[in-house]
Amino acid sequence: MPSAGRGQQDLKMDEESEVTGDNTTAEVGEVPAGFKEPKASRLNVDGRTVFLTLAALLIFGLMSLAVPETFPTVANLDSMAFQLSEVGILTVGMTLAILIGGIDLSVTAMANLSAIVAGLVLLNLVDANATPERIALAMALAILAAILVGLVCGYFNGLLIGRVGVPAILATLSTLMLYSGLGVGITEGKYLAGFPEQLLNIGIGKVLGIPTPLVIFAAVVVIVNILLNYSAFGFKIHMLGSNAVASRFSGIDNSGTIIRTHMIVGLLSAITGIVTLARTNSANAAYGNSYLLMTVLVAVLGGVSILGGYGRLTGVVLALLCLQMMSSGFNMLLVEFRGSNFFRDFSWGLFLLFAMVVSYFSDRGGMQAFWRGITHR
Amino acid sequence: MIRQITRSNEFVIAVSIVILSIVMTIVNPAYFTLANLFGMFRNATVFGILALACLIVMISGGVDVSFVAIASASSYITLTLLINRGFQGSALVAYLIALPIGVLMGCINAFFVSRFKLPTFVVTLGTYSMYYGFVLFFVGSGYLYTLPAGISAYARMRLVTVRGAEVGTSSLHPSVLLLLGLAVLVWAFLKYTMIGRGIYALGGARDVAERTGFNIPVVQFVMFGLAGALASIGGVTQVALYRNGNPAALMGSELDVIAAVVLGGAAITGGRGTVVGSLLGLMLIVILKSSLILAGISAEWQRFVIGVALIIGTSLPAIRGARLRRRPGTVVAG
């Protein structure tokens, strides 16, 4: 008897959430984001990938023409690689959070908290006359501690979203305050600095001539891509993001999937924290505040549906490339003006809106719809 | 009726504020003074006006992050314009110039949200970056300390001044009245106008609102325009209260304002939220902040405590909602 009653209640509840689910998809457009996929699957590229690839090539070409002596140089590619990697790892995390139909606003807070804990471990274990072995051990422990912090923070996020049922944007807004508040509290708002020099190897070192952060970023992209496209877990992520009700009725443990996804987001944030700690040789609770909006921007620009369920890492990486080249290029172009990085913000905003409008029309039949849209209104 | 009141979100926050105030008065008598109260009102004025802007968009079911950028951009453009012209007149002129700029920026948001049916959060994320980038690069990024005489006079205006025992003199700025006036206006707009009801309808169920006959684009343009207007008023008030123009002063505080509105019971999914609740939520955050200092806890833990308050404030309704849904035979709105 109790089991029958529960089933009925479940049904009632799901009817309700199904209605709201319908609303949200209808809001964005009559056609769901993944609808056209079968048609384009021959080459496994979609409109967004083509657009971003062209945009990336165009930006590279234009910037190379505009500042030929500084832009297309090895030194610049090198420095772009360093800047791109940290945001990149964070963005992969954000992409996962958006894919399951949520968002994670606490990514930078988790990264900073992990870095602070790692920094504290290092400062307490290593003194001026520590042996290399001791330093290596301390660094291993510090990295372990950072990863642990990331996993715990991610678990807590997942718990709030998956089990308690707080909307993701709210839950992670709260934990953004919580984690960054914890970081500020522990450090009393000060910078942690004075770590062993060996740490810099991770931050500004190179492996076979490639910057170490870029290697880490590439590894993250490859692993997460395999996870998303070739594992049962990745299937669950897509399923949960595109239709939570359907996914539960197919026997997927929704809250478990949410928790595990957010633990991965936490882990990726912790890795970003370690890389930042190693590059700047310092840790602070206020680092990378502007990264937060940037990760969302990159993910959305990369074609990840903000409603979840659809998105590709190739698009995200391409979007990241575009934004990084725009930012570096404009910095060189406008070097004689004050505040050239503000122009970067301006151009990013425009670029995001432009990309959204383009994808709106490509979802509705390309240039024809674009033309109709202009002439009929 | 009584049960309805005691169950409301506003009531819970009001009770939390009262309890917190009683505890704080026992811990440190300096809390229960006019001086402290005035200080808290001062801190709440700008954020209060911004919270109204954030609230009306949130009721429609979208999260607006661009309102702080609109506030900063419109007030800084206005100020630069006035200073370059050598204008010395009344602060009212500053409000009147900033207002259309704010409305225009709000309408740009509305255009993208309405015409292309894009999510508010994504659009305002883009315009946030755009507006800030525009003002900081094309208009200027420096502090403006020499304000026009009229704005300086406005900044020095006082409603009441009290001499506190410990904190020194403390006074109430007339902009508190501005906040109250705007709050009443927004409340009336949301409650008694067709477009105001349309915002709730849009946030509750878009399809239903559309079929009921609400003109959704009009609702969206009015809503974002009003939010832009409120943001610009908040921006000019910020300049006056802090006596300098700094385009980055409000940067990053959008999350604090959103937190206050959410704590005040507005549903991030839309359809629910009140002016009174948002202002109470804001007061709770302001009181929490000032209490910590008075209780002798270092200011570094402020953020942490607000985080804890937010987690409690957002988890409780979620748990209650889940319990209500589980009870057979109940229909839960929102």
Q: What is the DSSP string of B282-334?
A: HHHHHHHHHHHHHTT--GGGHHHHHHHHHHHHHHHHHHHHHHHHHSTT-----
Per-position b or e across A248-282, b if 16+ CB within 10 A of its CB = beeebebbebbbbbbbbbbbbbbbbbbbbbbbbbe
pLDDT at A372: 56
B228 pLDDT exceeds 90?
yes
Q: CA-CA distance, B210 to B214, in Å (whole number)?
A: 5
Phi, psi of A250, deg, nearest 5: -85, 5
Burial of A175 (0-12, 13-18, 19+ CB in 10 A): buried
pLDDT at A309: 79
CB nearest A297 (choices: B116, B125, B298): B125
pLDDT at B212: 87
H-helix or E-strand containing A280?
helix A254-280
CB nearest A170 (choices: B122, B128, B262): B262
Tokens of B6: 């005691």
CATH class of B2-326: mainly alpha
Q: How far does the CA of residue B39 sit from the closest CA of chain A (Å)?
A: 23
pLDDT at A5: 40
Phi, psi of A46, deg, nearest 5: -120, 175
Residues A159 and B241: beta-carbon distance below 8 Å: no
Q: What is the DSSP string of B48-114?
A: HHHHHHHHHHHHTT----THHHHHHHHHHHHHHHHHHHT--S-HHHHHHHHHHHHHHHHHHHHHHHH
pLDDT averaged over chain B? Answer: 84
**Does the CB of A65 have a partner CB in chain B at under 8 Å?**
no
Q: CA-CA distance, A295 to A305, in Å (whole number)?
A: 14
103-132 of A, contacting B, C-beta below 8 A? 105
Q: How far does the CA of residue B126 sit from the closest CA of chain A (Å)?
A: 4
Tokens of B111: 């255009």
Residues B62 and B119: beta-carbon distance below 8 Å: yes
Contacts 24+ apart (CB under 8 A), B209-213: none
pLDDT at B308: 87
CB nearest A13 (choices: B255, B308, B325): B325
pLDDT at B330: 47
Q: CA-CA distance, B124 to B252, in Å (whole number)?
A: 14
Give the up-direction half-sphere exposure of residue A289: CA atoms within 13 A in the CB hemisphere: 10
CB nearest B310 (choices: A167, A174, A338): A174
Q: CA-CA distance, B42 to B325, in Å (whole number)?
A: 41
Cβ pair B137:A356 closer than 8 A? no
* Residue whose pair of structure tokens reads 């020099």 in the numeric block: A197
Residues B262 and A170: beta-carbon distance below 8 Å: yes
Contacts of A86 (CB under 8 A, 6+ apart): A213, A272, A275, A276, A279, A288, A291
| Average of per-residue pLDDT across B301-316 | 83
Return the sign of the alpha-carbon dihedral for residues A99, A104, A109, A113: negative
Residues of B in contact with A289 (CB under 8 A): 252
Tokens of A35: 């609808």
Reported as a pLDDT band with limits 50, 70 and 90, residue A42 is: very low
**Percent of chain B having pLDDT more than 90?**
30
Q: How far does the CA of residue B145 sit from the closest CA of chain A (Å)?
A: 20
Chain A to chain B Cβ contacts (< 8 Å): 177
* Residue of B70, B114, B122 to mutate when probing chain A, most A C-beta within 10 A: B122
pLDDT at A217: 92
* Residue of B269, B304, B324 to mutate when probing chain A, most A C-beta within 10 A: B304
pLDDT tens for each residue of A143-194: 999 999 999 999 999 999 988 888 888 888 889 889 988 988 888 877 887 7
Strands A192-193 and A206-207: unpaired
CA–CA distance from A198 to each of A147, A155, A209 (Å)? 19, 31, 18
Tokens of B71: 């506030």
Cβ pair A307:B252 closer than 8 A? no
Q: What is the DSSP string of A315-348?
A: HHHHHHHHHHHHHHHHHHHTTTSTTHHHHHHHHH
pLDDT tens for each residue of A259-310: 999 999 999 999 999 998 888 888 887 777 778 778 888 888 888 877 777 8
* Nearest C-alpha neighbor of A78 from the set A188, A271, A211, A193: A211
Residues of A in contact with B136 (CB under 8 A): 339, 342, 345
Output A239 or A26, whichever has higher pLDDT: A239
3-state secondary structure of A16: helix
Q: In which region does residue B143 sit, left (phi positive, over 0), alpha (psi from -120 to 50) or beta (all else)? A: beta
Reported as a pLDDT band with limits 50, 70 and 90, residue B109 is: very high
pLDDT averaged over chain A? Answer: 79
Cβ pair B310:A178 closer than 8 A? yes
156-195 of A, contacting B, C-beta below 8 A? 160, 164-167, 169-171, 173-182, 184-185, 187-189
Q: How far does the CA of residue B247 sit from the closest CA of chain A (Å)?
A: 12
pTM: 0.80
Burial of A3 (0-12, 13-18, 19+ CB in 10 A): exposed
CB nearest B130 (choices: A105, A179, A350): A350
Tokens of A31: 């056609």
Cβ pair A357:B258 closer than 8 A? no
| Average of per-residue pLDDT across A89-95 | 93
Q: CA-CA distance, B188 to B185, in Å (whole number)?
A: 5
Residues of B in contact with A181 (CB under 8 A): 301-307
Per-position b or e across A31-64, b if 16+ CB within 10 A of its CB = ebbeeeeeeeeeeeebbbbebbbebbeebbeebe
Residues B253 and B68: beta-carbon distance below 8 Å: yes
Q: How far does the CA of residue A136 sit from the closest CA of chain B (Å)?
A: 32
Cβ pair A27:B303 closer than 8 A? no
Q: CA-CA distance, B109 to B120, in Å (whole number)?
A: 8
Strands A282-283 and A192-193: antiparallel
Residues B235 and B228: beta-carbon distance below 8 Å: no
pLDDT tens for each residue of B170-210: 778 888 889 999 999 999 999 999 999 999 999 888 888 88
Helix A47-66 and helix A340-363: axis angle, to 10°?
Answer: 150
3-state secondary structure of B119: coil
Reported as a pLDDT band with limits 50, 70 and 90, residue A353 is: confident
Tokens of A318: 């391409």
Q: Domain extents for chain B?
A: 2-326
A40 pLDDT exceeds 70?
no
Tokens of B168: 């020194």
Q: How far does the CA of residue A206 sit from the closest CA of chain B (Å)?
A: 33
Residues A360 and A27: beta-carbon distance below 8 Å: no
Task: Please state the length of chain B.
Answer: 334
